Amino acid sequence: MRITTWNINSVRLRIGLALKLLDQSRPDVLCLQETKCPDEQFPFEAFRDIGYKYIAVNGMKAYNGVALISRVPFESELALDWTERSDCRHISGVFPGDIEIHNFYVPAGGDEPDIERNDKFAHKLDFMSEMTDWFSSNRKKSDKVVLVGDLNIAPLESDVWSHKQLIKVVSHTPIETLSLTRLQETLNWIDTTRLIHPEPKKLYSWWSYRARDWSTSDKGRRLDHIWVTPPLKSYIGEAYILREARGWEKPSDHVPVTTKLDLD
C-alpha cells in the first residue's frame, strides 16, 4: 500500500497537478488537505476517470477541507469535529487488512506564538491536545493505524532550515514540538519519513510563497507527516518527499509526502 499525503491548497485550482501526481507516483491512497471545496463541488469524476473510484470528502467553501482518494475500497468513513468547530480538518477510513487511515489538517496557528494574544495559536494547541486525548482513549498501540496530514509542526532541528532563527516562529516553537511529541507517545507512533531518512539529514515539505527563488534559498520546513503504529513498522518499505513538485507550474507551497507499506 502506497500512501501519499499532500496539502494541495485548492483541489479545483490544482486538479491538473493532482492528476499528474497520480499518474507519476501511482499511490494507492492519496490524502489531501486544504481542498477548499464544498463536498458537492469536489471534482470526483476527474479522479474516478483514472481509476480512483473510492473517495471520501469533508470540505467547505474557501477554507480547510480534507479528502481520501483511493484505488482500493474502504469503509467506516468517519469525519470528526475538533475543538467544537465544524471546520473540516479530519477524515478517516478503514482499508483492507483493517488498516485505519486518519487524515488531518492541523490549524496553522497564526503569526504570534502567544495564546493570550493570538486566538489562532490557542486553537492550534487545543486541537493538538484534543487529538492526543482522542487517540489515547479510542485506539490501542496494537491497532493498525496510519496518521497523515499537514500537522503544521516541524518537530526536529533538522526539519527546519534554521533552528536558531525559527525557534520562536510558529510551527517550530518548543510548546508546539512538545505537543507533537505527546501525540506521538499516545500509540508509540513511528515517523516513517524519519525512520528511512534519520537525522541529521535536512528534510522539508514546505517552502514559503514569499521566497523569490525557493530552491536556491531552500528555507523550508517539514510540516507534513506520515506516522504508523508499531504493528505496521516492519512493513515500511520506503518513504520520500517529492521536492520537485514545489517547482511545478502554479504549485502548492507544500509537496507530496509518500510512504510505501510492503503488506504482501
DSSP 49-102: TTT--EEEEE--SSS--EEEEESS--EEEE---BTTB----EEEEEETTTEEEE
Look at residue 264 in the predicted model and tell me its pLDDT: 75
How many domains does the chain fold into? 1
For residue 120, CA distances in Å to 46, 111, 246 come to: 34, 8, 27
> What beta strand segments (E) does the chain contain?
2-7, 29-33, 54-58, 66-70, 75-78, 90-95, 99-105, 145-150, 190-191, 206-207, 220-221, 224-228, 236-241, 257-261
Instruction: Return d(Cα 219, Cα 9) in angstroms, integer.
Output: 19
Q: Along the 264 residues of the chain, how does pLDDT read in single tens digits?
A: 999 999 999 999 999 999 999 999 999 999 999 999 999 999 999 999 999 999 999 999 999 999 999 999 999 899 999 999 999 999 999 999 999 999 999 999 999 999 999 999 999 999 999 999 999 999 999 999 999 999 999 999 999 999 999 999 999 999 999 999 999 999 999 999 999 999 999 999 999 999 889 999 999 999 999 999 999 999 999 999 999 999 999 999 999 999 999 997
CB 222 within 8 A of CB 193: yes
pLDDT at 253: 98
Rounded CA gap, 163 and 160, in Å? 6
Helix (H, G, I), strand (E, B) or coil at 106: coil
Integer angstrom CA distances of residue 256 from 8, 84, 85, 231, 238? 8, 29, 27, 24, 14
Strands (E), 109-180: 145-150
Q: What is the dihedral of CA 157, 245, 10, 24, to 10 degrees?
A: -130
| Residue range of the domain that includes 32 | 2-261
3-state secondary structure of 242: coil
Cell numbers describing residue 242: 517529492
Residue 100, beta-bridge partner list: 94, 145
Give 254's DSSP letter: B
Pairing of strands 190-191, 224-228: antiparallel
The CA R_g of the chain, rounded to the nearest whole Å, is 17
CATH number of the structural domain spanning residue 105? 3.60.10.10
